[in-house]
Amino acid sequence: MGPLQLKYQLPLLLLFVASSFFLYFQRTSPVDTNTGTTGLPNMKVAITGSNGRVGKRVVLGALARGYHVVGIDHSALATADDRDLGANFTFLQTDLRDYDETLKAFEGCEAIIHLAAYPDPRDYKVVVHNRYSVVDGELKFNQGIHSNVVISWNILRAAAELGINRIAQASSVNAINLVYSQQPKFEFFPIDETHPTLPDEPYGLSKVIMELQADTIVRRFKDMRVASLRLHWSVPSRAFATQKANATLVKNDLWGYVQEDSAAEAFLLAITQPTDKWPSASEAFFITAPDTMHYKETSELIKEHWPDVPLKDGKKLDGNIGLFDCSKAKELLGWVHNNDAPSSSVPL
Ligand SMILES: *[C@@H]1O[C@H](CO)[C@@H](O)[C@H](O)[C@H]1NC(C)=O
Ligand SMILES: *[C@@H]1O[C@H](CO)[C@@H](O)[C@H](O)[C@H]1NC(C)=O
């Protein structure tokens, strides 16, 4: 018999069992550790895809709030962007398809805003979703920035590993099946988060999977809160959207858009607002303008293009009202679309 005598073993075993229960219930108790504790001026936030169109706006918004920003992108920082970002901005050129690199990049951060992704199905095959190939007998990711679902899991899992509990990730209106689909099928207007997400193409699928990854990670890491923001076409202004829209495509896109700085604000709210009213720890939100970018009245557009889609009870299509209902984002994130969002005058 070892040094531990039998008479000590039973009490030790009981102590072990008791402490296990204690730890178990501590971990699973419904304490919302996130309420009102984030958003301090010196908070350190990682922003992936920081060189991207929306990413740049989020970086500016975060710096304007006094946050310390770690900008992360696969491409080198363009010198023009380096210009005015100041001492509170650090840039890391990182391949987020590599889990260890991802872990290293997020060290010391308190929140993550994840925007890095390839934003378009391109080949309608594998490029965006999960691109890889066999090189010299080894499975390797191809050159390029693709592999949305690999990156999104790396980010969530690295956050869990580092105890980073607030994450906002860029999903897309295409999660429901929209502009890239062969023929979208809408169950009702206006579209809200109860609408089915049934994409027929790899970009929308990568967004649905990203939302499922978030649902999955919060089951195991119970202090994490993940907001998946389903952004519409992000543009500097409604006038820009009207001017640049592709007349063939906008019908399937439901003539939507979102002002880019207002979209950026949604990400900042999603990592700082209290989460105690969220129905679950992982929630999706539509983030679009409340109007369409079309000059025609919405009821007219619907009569012409989507005459068979029913209106939800109690909803009316006044004027140029948009076909997405963002009241969930208003209620739970305090987000309201703003066409004159504060930093839109900042040149890039
Ligand atoms: C950097 O952040 C601090 C708050 O943490 C703020 O007081 C300071 O003004 C910021 N500096 C710049 C250059 O924005
Ligand atoms: C509009 O989109 C269609 C379908 O993808 C494409 O064939 C066409 O070239 C686009 N038009 C313009 C002006 O970009």
- State the distance from the centre of ligand 1 to the C-alpha of 43, rounded, in angstroms: 11
Atom of ligand 1 nearest to the CA of 87: 13
Tokens of 214: 């978030």
User: Is 60 exceeded by the pLDDT of residue 26?
Assistant: no
More confident residue, 328 or 35: 328
Q: Which residues contact 12 (CB under 8 A, 6 or more apart)?
A: 4
* pLDDT reported for residue 138: 60
CB contact at 8 A, 187 and 217: no
Dihedral of alpha carbons 228, 256, 178, 146, sign: negative
Average pLDDT, integer, range 148-158 = 94
Residue 342: pLDDT band with limits 50, 70, 90: low
Q: Report the chain's mean pLDDT, rounded to a whole number.
A: 84
Place of tokens 């999955």: 216
Closest residue by CA, ligand 1 atom 11: 88
Q: Is 246 in the pocket of ligand 2 (CB under 6 A)?
A: yes
Closest residue by CA, ligand 2 atom 3: 248
Q: Is 18 in the pocket of ligand 2 (CB under 6 A)?
A: no
- State the distance from the centre of ligand 2 to the C-alpha of 246, rounded, in angstroms: 6
Q: What are phi and psi for residue 64, nearest 5 degrees?
A: -65, -30
Residue 34: pLDDT band with limits 50, 70, 90: very low
Reported pTM:
0.84
Atom of ligand 1 nearest to the CA of 42: 5
pLDDT tens-digit map of 175-222: 999 999 999 999 999 999 999 999 999 889 999 999 999 999 999 999
**Residue ranges around ligand 1 (CB below 6 Å):** 41-42, 63, 66, 86-88
Dihedral of alpha carbons 183, 185, 191, 192, sign: negative
Angle CA 197–200–206, to nearest 5: 65
Top-level CATH class of 37-237+259-290+323-345?
Answer: alpha beta
Residue ranges covered by each domain of the chain = 37-237+259-290+323-345
CB contact at 8 A, 312 and 189: yes
Whole-angstrom Cα distance, residue 293 to residue 246?
A: 12
pLDDT tens-digit map of 47-64: 999 998 899 999 999 999
- State the distance from the centre of ligand 2 to the C-alpha of 178, rounded, in angstroms: 16
Whole-angstrom Cα distance, residue 89 to residue 85?
A: 6
Neighbours of 16 (CB within 10 A): 10
Question: Considering every ligand atom, which ligand is closest to the CA of 250?
Answer: 2
Whole-angstrom Cα distance, residue 148 to residue 118?
A: 7
Bridge-based pairing of strands 258-259 and 225-231 is unpaired
What's the longest Cα–Cα distance across the chain? Answer: 87
CB contact at 8 A, 255 and 301: yes
**Pocket perturbation via mutation, ligand 1, pick of 38, 42, 82, 88 by most ligand atoms within 8 A of CB:** 88
Atom of ligand 1 nearest to the CA of 63: 14
